[in-house]
């Protein structure tokens, strides 16, 4: 006996639009959960040590993004060249060895870090410290080559609060280092401080004299957000 082919009955006319709506909603949900990456707009390139927000604008991006951007720009610098920071023009300027001043702040290449770092000149071609985020240095140590009037105008335009602090309390203008190796004007009176990435040690200046900052467990520190916390390298002994 020959079997008859099965004939499928056509869908009712109202079913097709409903199926199309279900498929459309499903596709839109997948697209919303996994959006295509947006193209990144090309911005103005700034050298490490400078800030695009120097005049008061916003410096966008997360801490990790800014840190990666700073490291990338630092990798393009000449390892054999030492640079100074010019806050008037917000840029790095190459410095000849004979021009380097002892105890001043410069951007030099670190063989151990394999990148440029901020350090203090120690004389005879040597440098001291690898400054980490939160380090603060007074403006006079940046070898700024400008008149007193030009410095004052730059300070007033970039940070009225710092200019007022300098005028009313005589506090010296200073710069604070962030996570991406960029300097911004500090608005808290200080003689300077350094968080040394090489050793984990911290130093604060009282006048021209650096004093090491220690805690109950030793002298090693770590950075936690915007603060420093003790870094214990040995066993912690309890007691009264």
Domain coordinates of the chain in residue numbers?
A: 64-230
Helix (H) or strand (E) holding 154: helix 148-158
Q: Do 180 and 65 meet the contact criterion of CB atoms below 8 Å apart?
A: no
3-class DSSP state for residue 235?
coil
Task: Taking each helix axis as running N to C, give the angle between helix 160-169 and helix 148-158, from 0 to 180 degrees, rounded to the nearest 10.
Answer: 120
pLDDT digits (tens, 9 = 90+) for 59-83: 444 545 544 555 555 558 999 999 9
Q: Do 230 and 217 meet the contact criterion of CB atoms below 8 Å apart?
A: yes
pLDDT digits (tens, 9 = 90+) for 8-43: 444 444 434 433 333 333 333 332 333 333 222 222
Residue 12 CA to residue 16 CA, distance in Å, equals: 8
Q: Do 218 and 230 meet the contact criterion of CB atoms below 8 Å apart?
A: yes
3-class DSSP state for residue 106?
strand
Q: Do 190 and 165 meet the contact criterion of CB atoms below 8 Å apart?
A: no
pLDDT at residue 98 in the model: 95
């Amino acid at each position: 006996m020959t079997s008859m082919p099965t004939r499928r009955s056509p869908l009712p006319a109202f079913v097709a639009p409903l199926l199309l709506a279900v498929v459309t909603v499903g596709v839109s949900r997948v697209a919303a959960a996994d959006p295509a990456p947006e193209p990144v707009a090309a911005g103005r390139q700034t050298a490490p040590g400078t800030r695009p927000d120097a005049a008061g604008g916003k410096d966008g991006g997360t801490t990790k993004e800014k840190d990666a951007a700073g490291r990338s720009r630092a990798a393009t610098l000449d390892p054999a060249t030492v640079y100074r920071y010019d806050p008037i023009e917000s840029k790095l300027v190459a410095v000849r060895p004979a021009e380097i001043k002892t105890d001043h702040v410069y951007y030099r290449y670190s063989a151990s870090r394999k990148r440029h770092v901020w350090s203090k000149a120690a004389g005879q071609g040597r440098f001291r410290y690898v400054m980490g985020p939160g380090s603060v240095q007074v403006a006079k140590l940046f070898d700024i080559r400008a008149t007193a009037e030009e410095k004052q105008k730059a300070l007033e335009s970039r940070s009225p609060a710092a200019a007022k602090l300098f005028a009313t309390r005589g506090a010296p203008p200073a710069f604070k280092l962030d996570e991406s190796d960029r300097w911004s004007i500090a608005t808290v009176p200080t003689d300077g401080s350094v968080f040394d990435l090489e050793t984990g040690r911290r130093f604060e200046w009282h006048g021209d004299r650096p004093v090491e900052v220690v805690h109950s467990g030793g002298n090693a520190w770590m950075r936690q957000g915007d603060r420093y916390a003790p870094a214990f390298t040995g066993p912690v002994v309890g007691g009264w």
